[in-house]
Structure 1
Amino acid sequence: MSSHGWVNEAIGKIEADFQRSADTHLIRLDLPGLEGVDLYLKDESTHPTGSLKHRLARSLFLYAICNGWVDQNTPIIESSSGSTAVSEAYFARLLGLPFIAVMPRSTSVRKIRQIEFYGGRCHLVDCSSEIYAESQRLAKELNGHYMDQFTYAERATDWRGNNNIADSIFRQMKAETHPVPSWIVMSPGTGGTSATIGRYIRYQKLDTQLCVVDPEHSVFMDYFLSGDSSLTIDQGSRIEGIGRPRVEPSFIPGVIDEMRRIPDAAAIATIHWLEEILGRKAGPSTGTNLFGALQLASEMKMRGEEGSVVTLLCDSGERYLDTCYNDDWVAALMGDTCLWRKEIERLVG
């Protein structure tokens, strides 16, 4: 098959997969104590690969193929803490391409198994800061393409519309009591989703503000406050999928209105509380998002403001049964979360 023939076929397969996928649900949480302030979760766990990163993986593959970086014989290499690699393994299998995920050894076993289920291979490193150089080395050695989500996430997605996540949120909110959210809350992994949402808000001339919530052991908030892009730390984030030890190229601080640091134990307490509200489990990045959203909603209520707050349910908690939903793991790594549970109850009234 000619190069153009393979490109046409590959893009056709990805577009057909998109057409088979419905949009994700927007869930309104019933919180009587926050009357007048409506809180919503955009449930990204219902994508075919189970997370928000399905959107990113689709965009990254289309971007790489259309740039001529990937053809029918190109091995795909990605540095990832889990969910992006799961989604990229899915698309690599769809196109018949080999896939290798370079990831920290601390990545949950269930995510590793999912990558392997889609035919991918996991290449584990001891420290999260090693994933970049090792991915580049493997790509060079195998004559492959390093997908590099941390660089290309913010440019692979069309932020002006075209059914991106921001466009989807605002379309789904049209019939709600407060259709233009006062706040959208997002945590940064690559920074690509917050860049897309922030740019879209400005392009559409909306009054919504973007709050980005960072976990512990992440440099994004420090960079937002200081402007120092050289910041690094030696310890990786304990909230899998978000927070980075260095400032990633896809993180765009200029589109963000406010940043908050969310304690990791608060995020874990929040997903256990959310399970009682929804009847199902969510991943820890959702806890970081939702705790920040609850703070903002509570503050709006105290000021006598009405409106809506939207955040993301990034992936299912079934991927974290051996960590965030394991009492021994939580006690050993996060400590006592009871005080944060009380704080959540205070926030929701």
Structure 2
Amino acid sequence: MSWDIRALGLLQAEPPTPLIDFPVRAAGIRLLLKDESAQPTGSLRHRHARALFRQAVLDGLLAEGTTVVEATGGNAAVSQAWYARRLGLPYIAIMPGTRADGRARPVEELGGECRFVTPPVAIYDAARQVEGHFLDQFGRAAEHDLAAELFAQVRPDWVVVGAGTGATSATLGRWRRDHAGGPRVAVADPENSAYFPGWTLDAPDYATGMPSRIEGIGRPRMEPGFRPDLVDLVIPVPDAASVAAARHIREVTGLPVGGSSGTALWAALELVERMRERGESGTVVSVLGDAHERHLATCHDDGWAAAKGLDERPHGERLGRISSAGG
């Protein structure tokens, strides 16, 4: 049996992640959370990692002993380290800034190596200089299997997701294009990100030059993996609203989600409100990107929010009016 066949056997899809009913004050409208925190590595990045490794194997870019390299500081590194370990491959994550044990430890526990680089923008050049295969999640943005799995579970009218590499929105949009009657796709975009203005202005080279404060989503430029032609709507979301919505998800479900899940929920509730005002009925799915105890020290912490200048209270009051869990 060849290495390639064994590798592809290890890269089969995991069991479907669950859908969670989320309460809203809108008759005839159902809001569901697609809980990607149930992935083996705890985030939506698990799907993208599998797709990147699978494509690299099919393209002949990986062989036994090949060092796998990525430039990333978040969930992607954990998911990629998990797959590298399953394939018996060395893995190096080039992370921005100075060493932070909270980011490095989960990767190192999976056998990966973390190298920290300053300035942060230098991580991409540093990754290309390492001998091995650079996965390049932003440059390749391989599409994954979320759409097929989700639409086997439910047939929604809208699916809402945040955008980092753009792979998830492209996956969903391509499924809609190729299947008559598929759901519309909305991207929830935080402050400082280029996706909303770039999509609105039809400017594929749009850049803000500013980093997102919401972990995992938002980019300072339009990334190659983001496909504006496969997206029906991009909804800008204030960062303070993302924080409020992340806390609201935790109140309702008990899951300590990250800010990206809050961003997607806020945008989904915007859609629910628009549907209610038009007298429409239907189903909206919001993708819950991850949930981890580390988020308790960020978007769920008042001190962290205050230090970032984020006052989530007005947005929390609005959530209480929209969600039937708000009292």
- TM-score bracket, normalised by the shorter chain, equals over 0.9
Counterpart position of 1:160: none
CA contact under 8 A between 1:110 and 1:320: conserved in structure 2?
A: no
Q: Distance in 2 between matches of 1:200 and 1:243?
A: 23
Distance in 1 between residues matched to 2:209 and 2:305, nearest whole Å: 22
Number of the residue aligned with 1:326: 301
Distance in 2 (CA, whole Å) between partners of 1:259 and 1:343 is: 21
Aligned residue for 2:186? 211
Aligned residue type for 1:260: I
1:120 paired to 2:95: no
- Cα pair distance change 1:333/1:107, threshold 3 Å: farther
1:191 to 166, 189, 214: 166
Aligned pairs for 1:48-127 within 5 A: 48-105=40-97, 109-127=101-119
Q: Percent identity?
A: 40
Establish whether residue 147 from structure 1 lines up as the match of residue 147 from structure 2.
no
Aligned-pair distance for 1:279? 2.0
Structure 2: distance between partners of 1:106 and 1:315? 24
Distance 1:259 1:289 in 2: 11
Tell me the C-alpha RMSD between the 2 structures.
1.8
Structure 1: how far apart are the matches of 2:159 and 2:99? Answer: 28
Contact 2:143 2:171 in 1 (8 A): no
Q: 1:84 to 1:342 in 2, by over 3 A?
A: same
Contact kept? 2:93, 2:112, Cα under 8 Å: yes
Task: Give the Cα–Cα distance (whole angstroms) in 1 for the partners of residues 201 and 105 of structure 2.
Answer: 39
* Unaligned segments of structure 1, at least 5 residues: 158-163, 174-179
- With over 3 angstroms needed to count, the CA separation of the structure-2 counterparts of 1:38 and 1:275, relative to structure 1, is same
Alpha-carbon spacing, 1:300–1:85, altered in 2? closer, same or farther (3 Å) = same
**Is there any run of 5+ residues in structure 2 with no aligned partner, and where?**
none
Q: Match for residue 195 of structure 2?
A: 220
Check the 8 A contact 1:81/1:241 in 2, yes or no.
no
TM-score (norm 1): 0.88
Q: Which moved more, 1:67-76 or 1:222-231?
A: 222-231
Question: What are the within-5 Å matches in structure 2 for residues 1-349 of structure 1?
Answer: 5-15=2-12, 18=13, 21-31=14-24, 33-105=25-97, 109-138=101-130, 142=131, 144-153=132-141, 155-157=142-144, 164-173=145-154, 180-348=155-323
Question: What is the CA-CA distance between 1:146 and the residue it aligns to?
Answer: 0.4
TM-score, length of structure 2 as denominator length: 0.93
1:109 Cα deviation after fit:
4.7
Aligned length in residues: 324
Amino acid at match of 1:91: Y
Structure 1 residue 260: Cα displacement: 1.1
- Contact 2:33–2:288 (CA under 8 A) maintained in structure 1: yes
Q: 1: CA distance between counterparts of 2:9 and 2:159?
A: 33
Question: What is the Cα deviation at residue 8 of structure 1?
Answer: 2.3
